[in-house]
Amino acid sequence: MNICSRSFFLYLSKNKALNRAAQKWGGNIAAGKIIGGTDFPSSVPFIRTLNEQGLAVTVDHLGEFVTNEAVARERTDECIRTIEMIASGSLDSQVSLKLTSLGLDIDAQLVYENLARILDAAEKQKIMVTIDMEDEQRCQKTLDIFKDFKKRYSYVSTVLQAYLYRTENDLNDLLPYQPFLRLVKGAYQESPDVAFPEKTDVDENYKRLIKTQLLNGHYTAIATHDDKMIDYTKRVVKDHNISLGSFEFQMLYGMRTTTQQELVKEGYKTRVYVPYGCDWYGFFMRRLAERPANIAFALKGMAIK
């Protein structure tokens, strides 16, 4: 990726004025195109349509870096309501969340209480909750919390990012927990002290992570729009006779829709990441920063709907 392009979109993702403007008027433009809706009920029709097309879903109430305890508790309540609505509506959907939305940056006890409430609901309804990975400075805290909860809950998974030097060691450290992991390349601006600055190195590390996790036999979500990574996964699966039931591909809502359908027709489980809520701007900019081709996919999706 062009470093300037990545830096540009990451800079835009942090622009408070643009974020406020997006929250004010952009939700209606984005709804049904790059987000499901401004709230979960308005996202349900889009989720049902995806399910009818053979696609599974994971939903994420957008919003992160919460610094107010009341807001963190509200986000927790919202997540629990979403889990209950998924179950009552018989939707083929999981839930993704960010620990900073539950109070990670406020108080350790707060984030533990909030996550426990969510996982209690998830365990009752048998709905997987994925703890999204955020920037590198929060990586260790996130993994420590995941490991602690994985000892007590079955329906919890997390994410590893290929652009961090540490991730291969993190994967090995998680093996005793038999984790369901989502593997991604990574979308935050990180120092070359902690992350590979070159795309080729990120790609090679991503391949190592995919192969290691698949061969370990633990459920794996390969979250990518990169055809090379998709083809690589298919080769590993074929060469090692890996069951199609032990992994899935994941892609963003509104992007690579044709590829999603092709994967389903080929027999691969494919899950669509459907974010919802008004706080969508930063998320969207980071997705554009991840891969230049996402810009074309996103603009095409917004234009044809």
Q: What is the mean pLDDT of each run of 10 residues along the chain (305 residues)?
A: 52 53 52 79 96 98 87 97 98 97 96 98 98 96 98 98 98 96 91 95 98 97 97 98 97 93 98 86 63 49 43
Give residue for tokens 């790059």.
34
Active site residues: 132, 182
Q: How far apart are CA 77 and CA 185, in angstroms?
A: 30
- Is 98 known to sit in a ligand binding site? yes
Range of the domain at 57: 3-304
Contact by Cβ (8 Å): 286, 15:
no
Q: How far apart are CA 60 and CA 42, in angstroms?
A: 13
Q: How many domains does the chain have?
A: 1
- Is 187 known to sit in a ligand binding site? yes
Predicted local confidence at residue 25, as pLDDT: 52
Predicted local confidence at residue 4, as pLDDT: 47
The CATH number of whichever domain residue 252 belongs to comes to 3.20.20.220
Query: 213-236 pLDDT, tens per residue?
Result: 999 999 999 999 999 999 999 999
- Is 298 known to sit in a ligand binding site? no
The neighbour count for residue 120, using CB atoms within 10 Å, is 13
- Is 73 known to sit in a ligand binding site? no
Predicted local confidence at residue 277, as pLDDT: 85
